[in-house]
Amino acid sequence: MEIGTLYIVATPIGNLGDITLRALETLRMVDLIVCEDTRVTKNLLNHYTIIKPTMSYHQYSDDSRIREIQELLVAGKNIALVTDAGTPGISDPGNYLINQLINTKSSLDSAMKQIPIVPLPGASAVVAALSISGFTTDKFLFLGFPPHKKGRKDFFSKIEASEYTVVFYESCHRIAKCLHTLAEILDSDRSICVCRELSKKFESVYRGTCAEINQKKIPEKGEFVVVISSK
């Protein structure tokens, strides 16, 4: 029996039109779609009239779910891995799944080393934000989400010390606190580009220095990507 293939499929970060033809073809072809939240993925599948079984895999999934996915691949099933929005594995639990599939130490070990893992490029909030920032992007530092408590000070210290453009995600619950912290630690000439709800109905982009950004009335709703200019 042939070994199955795991496809890493990027999906829209908001606008459902932002998906590649190859991604749609792959979602129609695979035997199973592994997704962060089946309800979110079902909305995308229904939009494109794709009827496929789904399986959840998220940050709270245990190792038994990983073993289940391993066994399906070894049994010859082709699987697509998607996240709620954007590219799986980027600040996303998919990276742990992929790591475990590559480095598995089990009875499936020899078979797992043969399993193809194929990336399908597509939407990424990080790249979308960088593309409109106007900052230097030949080198940049991506930091994911700031820690909620422990390690938060070190996180912002890395931003202050970086010689490169910095990009990171922030939640709507902490965006105001985040911007105030940046205003306290960054040089006055460092510029910021705050991107809210990229590709969605209420997409908004705010530009300026830290002080200027903090004077703007930014709704504390939606998804945020923050880009900071290099020193």
The tens digit of pLDDT for each residue in 157-191 reads: 999 999 999 999 999 999 999 999 999 999 888 99
Which of these, 85, 91, 83, 118, lies nearest to 18 by C-alpha position? 85
Mean pLDDT of all residues in 146-154: 89
pLDDT band at 41 (very low <50, low <70, confident <90, very high): very high
Q: Is 69 helix (H, G, I), strand (E, B) or coil?
A: helix
Measured in whole angstroms, the distance separating CA 147 from the mean position of its chain's CA atoms is 16
Q: List CB contacts of 41: < 8 A, sequence separation 6 or more.
A: 11, 33, 35, 54, 82, 84
Q: How many CA atoms lie within 13 A of 204 on its CB side?
A: 13
Look at residue 110 in the predicted model and tell me its pLDDT.
60
The tens digit of pLDDT for each residue in 71-83 reads: 999 999 999 999 9
CATH class of 6-120: alpha beta
In the chain, DSSP assigns E strands to 6-9, 32-35, 54-56, 79-82, 117-120, 140-142, 165-170, 191-196, 204-209, 224-228
The tens digit of pLDDT for each residue in 97-146 reads: 998 888 865 555 565 567 899 999 999 999 999 999 999 999 999 999 99
Q: Where are the domains of the chain?
A: 6-120, 125-228
Can you read off the two tokens belonging to residue 140?
């940049």
Q: Above 70 in pLDDT, residue 45? A: yes
For residues 209 and 231, which has the higher predicted lDDT (pLDDT)?
209
Look at residue 1 in the predicted model and tell me its pLDDT.
66
Provide the CATH number for the domain formed by 125-228 in this structure: 3.30.950.10
What percent of the chain has a predicted confidence (pLDDT) above 70? 95
Which is it for the CA torsion 132, 136, 140, 146, positive or negative?
A: negative
